[in-house]
Amino acid sequence: MQVYLNGQYMEETQATVSIDDRGFLFADGVYEVVHIYRGRPFEWERHLARLHRSLAGINLTGVSDQELTEARDHLMSGVTAEEAALYIQVTRGTQRRSHAPPPAGTIAPTVLMWVRPVDPIRPELVQSGVAVITTADDRWAKVWIKTIGLLPNVLAKGKAMEAGAFDAVFVRDGMVTEATSANVFRVSDGVIQTAPVTNYILPGITREVVIELARGAGMTVIEQPFSADALYGADELFLTGTLTEVLPITRVDGRPVGSGSVGPVARELLHLLRRQAGIA
Ligand code: PDD
């Protein structure tokens, strides 16, 4: 597989970064993941805009849209898979270890990009839905920055897997924020609900698109906080994310959600999303 690293294309086995890279030492960097459907990047502009917000959030400059777009096109041209993921990671660059960030513009950021085929979400997961557990949201207060510092997410995902579940849903002060790499929605009495955009969630592009699609189809969507208890009483629950798409949740902490099988709203929104992506 070809990767893009700091202005050059190379085989992944040739791509190396320094032991002094601030991404390696401090998780001092941000990232994006874009879903490529049949050679078309889904919602590229929104991903680019969010990447710039994340970069601004960590005071990092020096990454141009032209560089990212050219590398994207070059990497995509080598991939024939029906579906693929484009990964973009920007770290503050390489400098002898010091907490003090270098003054803006004094060292070049490390820019890494690759495109890899992805397997579409396994049909049996979409058919039967997935199980989640709830767990304390012990992340920092700038979750809106898509930082590569994902240790709390990794630990929560591991906890879910140990419990035989697919994912963990974070709960902060009794309220649901999101999952480890997806946003969370509930449906109750025909109303679709998700946590509002605050500094405690990552404002998902899929979340935004799904809200638009639902409203466009005449459904009611409210962006209001809901409690962990409201998960148990929901008619339907689902996750949204770039690679997760719309994934129904049918068990929370071992309890069935609604009827215990996948509901019509999640099914319909997955269909609308894939149609929007030009794949359904
Ligand atoms: N994760 N919340 C978190 C914490 C995430 O990491 C993600 C995405 C989302 C969904 O955002 P979007 O719809 O823009 O993908 C929500 C990516 C895919 C990842 O880490 O691989």
pLDDT of residue 119: 78
Q: Whose CA is nearest to atom 3 of ligand 1?
A: 181
Task: Report DSSP state, residue 213.
Answer: H
- Which residues, 6+ apart, have CB-to-CB distance to 142 below 8 Å? 57, 199
Tell me which of 142, 146, 157, 159 is the catalytic residue.
146
SS3 readout for 67-130? HHHHHHHHHHCCCCCCEEEEEEEEECCECCCCCCCCCCCCCCCEEEEEEEECCCCCHHHHHHCE
pLDDT of residue 129: 97
**146 is an active site residue:** yes
The C-alpha R_g of the chain, in whole angstroms, comes to: 19
If DSSP codes are grouped into helix, strand and coil, which group holds residue 131? Answer: strand
pLDDT of residue 155: 98
Which CATH number describes the domain made up of 2-117? 3.30.470.10
Q: What fold does the segment set 123-276 form as a domain?
A: D-amino Acid Aminotransferase; Chain A, domain 2 (3.20.10)
- Residue of 31, 32, 33 to mutate, ligand 1, most atoms within 8 A of C-beta: 33
Q: Whose CA is nearest to atom 9 of ligand 1?
A: 182
**Mean pLDDT of all residues in 201-230:** 98
From the CB of 246, is ligand 1 less than 6 Å away? no
- Which residues, 6+ apart, have CB-to-CB distance to 28 below 8 Å? 22, 58, 91, 92, 101
Please report, for the chain, how many H helices and E strands are present, in that order: 8, 15
Q: Whose CA is nearest to atom 18 of ligand 1?
A: 242
What is the rounded CA–CA span in Å between residue 46 and residue 205? 7
Q: pLDDT tens digit string along 158-200?
A: 999 999 999 999 999 999 999 999 999 999 999 999 999 999 9
Which atom of ligand 1 is closest in space to residue 46's alpha carbon?
14
Same fold: 2-117 with 123-276: no
pLDDT of residue 187: 98
State the distance from the centre of ligand 1 to the C-alpha of 181, rounded, in angstroms. 4
What are the sequence ranges of the domains in the chain?
A: 2-117, 123-276
Q: Which of 138, 203, 207, 146 is nearest to 168 (CA)?
A: 138
